[in-house]
């Protein structure tokens, strides 16, 4: 027997002969492999399989493309897979709890509790959250991240940051917005906003004033494309004939500069080649702003293989939020970096392309090109 079977030894009966034990493991692996081939949901939770060539582990029902048998290793639990250096699949989310699990409802209620406390400027402690959910701190942390994709603190930070941004949009001063959002000091605010806003709070409030955004345009198989970037990375990929008009949305006061020099020209050529099927993947640094939920959706979208699609409800189930189909659609509509975050691969339940920020016909064309 090969080494890939060793992690199932604990399931074999003690006291049997080596030959019988080997036969038992062999039969079990054959049953597991058949379950993987059949995407059999009835085996979910009974075992997990790792794909050594990609470094991920999945549930038996995972809808990903079937790996070669010689690259597969079976595990009794996720911890064994993680000890082998494998990471959880973002598509089937093997660490996520099912919606039927009683903890799912507890965590959903806890999210509302956190939101209410943030609105009252009272960020709850882990001990308070533990008492509210009726779970130990350890199980609370594990269940919360498995279901939402973020920790309780990250969720609270996202709620606080959203409150702060809304206050800025409403015309409040930075200091007033900071206090209203519950930031204890300016350093705490700037520590988070630097990575989550992509710019200072003052610049965000002023519609990007003082922020230097360079942009270029290029022809692609999907039509004229705009690519724009800050010093941190690509902040916009859009389709249209009027590049500057496309950038007047969230940052109307930013300093815009057209350039056809590197690295923007190279990034634009990379996207064009990818759309034409001449490049297997994209490697772009991104500078994007997102809520915790949007990040969860966008990370999942990046796992959908080229040439495949998922419905909004499939994405919702894939991120462990089966009732959030409408929120998934909103997250797709909020995407400002077309292709890099492939929201075009999310379609209606009927298989029809549905809406697209840059036009339904363009979405259909991109999907047809990817399938071909």
Helix, strand, or coil here: 41? helix
Q: State the Cα angle at 56 between 51 and 60, rounded to 5°.
A: 65
Q: Dihedral, CA atoms, 113, 115, 118, 120, nearest 10 degrees?
A: -70
Point out the catalytic residue in the list 62, 92, 111, 343: 343
Cα(346)–Cα(353) distance, rounded to whole angstroms?
8
| 175 CA to centre of own chain | 32
Residue 159 annotated in active site: no
Cα(326)–Cα(293) distance, rounded to whole angstroms?
12
- The residue among 287, 279, 181 whose CA lies nearest residue 234 is 287
Q: In 10 A of CB 69, how many CB atoms?
A: 11
- The residue among 302, 195, 213, 293 whose CA lies nearest residue 250 is 213
Asked whether the beta carbons of 282 and 237 are under 8 A apart, the reply is no
CA distances from residue 148 to 111, 145, 316 in whole angstroms, order as listed: 9, 5, 11
Residue 332 annotated in active site: no
CA distances from residue 168 to 118, 254, 281, 296, 310 in whole angstroms, order as listed: 17, 16, 37, 25, 36
Q: State the Cα angle at 40 between 26 and 346, rounded to 5°.
A: 135
Cα(10)–Cα(156) distance, rounded to whole angstroms?
40
**Which residues are within 8 A (CB) of 159 and not within 5 positions of it... i.e. 6 or more apart?**
114, 115, 118
Point out the catalytic residue in the list 58, 92, 111, 235: 58
Cα(111)–Cα(156) distance, rounded to whole angstroms?
9
Q: In 10 A of CB 73, how many CB atoms?
A: 23
Which residues are paired to 225 by β-bridges? 218, 239
**Which residues are within 8 A (CB) of 327 and not within 5 positions of it... i.e. 6 or more apart?**
293, 297, 316, 321
Catalytic machinery residues:
58, 343
């Amino acid at each position: 027997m090969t080494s890939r079977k060793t992690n199932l030894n604990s399931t074999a009966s003690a006291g049997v002969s080596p030959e019988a034990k080997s036969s038992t493991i062999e039969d079990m692996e054959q049953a597991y492999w058949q379950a993987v081939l059949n995407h059999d949901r009835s085996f979910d939770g009974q075992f997990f399989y790792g794909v050594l060539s990609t470094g991920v582990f999945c549930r038996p029902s995972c809808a990903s493309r079937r790996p070669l048998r010689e690259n597969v290793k079976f595990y009794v639990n996720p911890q064994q897979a993680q000890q082998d250096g494998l990471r959880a699949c973002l598509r089937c989310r093997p660490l996520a709890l099912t919606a039927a699990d009683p903890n799912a409802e507890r965590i959903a209620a806890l999210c509302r509790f956190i939101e209410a406390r943030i609105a009252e400027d009272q960020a709850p402690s882990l001990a308070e959250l533990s008492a509210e959910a009726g779970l130990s701190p350890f199980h609370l942390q594990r269940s919360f991240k498995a279901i939402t994709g973020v920790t309780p603190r990250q969720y609270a930070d996202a709620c606080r940051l959203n409150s702060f941004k809304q206050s800025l949009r409403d015309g409040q001063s930075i200091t007033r917005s900071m206090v209203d959002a519950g930031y204890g000091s300016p350093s705490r605010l700037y520590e988070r906003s630097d990575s989550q806003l992509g710019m200072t709070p003052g610049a965000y409030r002023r519609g990007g004033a003082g922020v230097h955004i360079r942009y270029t345009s290029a022809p692609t198989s999907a039509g004229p494309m705009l690519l724009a970037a800050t010093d941190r990375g690509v902040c916009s990929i859009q389709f249209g004939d009027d590049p500057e008009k496309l950038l007047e949305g969230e940052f109307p006061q930013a300093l815009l500069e057209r350039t056809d020099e590197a690295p923007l020209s190279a990034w634009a050529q990379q996207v064009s080649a990818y759309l034409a099927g001449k490049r297997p993947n994209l490697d772009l640094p991104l500078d994007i702003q997102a809520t915790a939920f949007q990040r969860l959706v966008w990370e999942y979208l990046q796992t959908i293989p080229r040439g495949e699609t998922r419905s909004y409800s499939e994405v919702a189930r894939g991120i462990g939020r089966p009732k959030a189909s409408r929120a998934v659609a909103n997250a797709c509509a909020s995407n400002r970096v077309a292709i890099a975050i492939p929201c075009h691969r999310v379609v209606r339940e009927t298989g029809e392309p549905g809406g697209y920020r840059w036009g339904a016909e363009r979405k259909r064309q991109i999907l047809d090109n990817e399938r071909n």
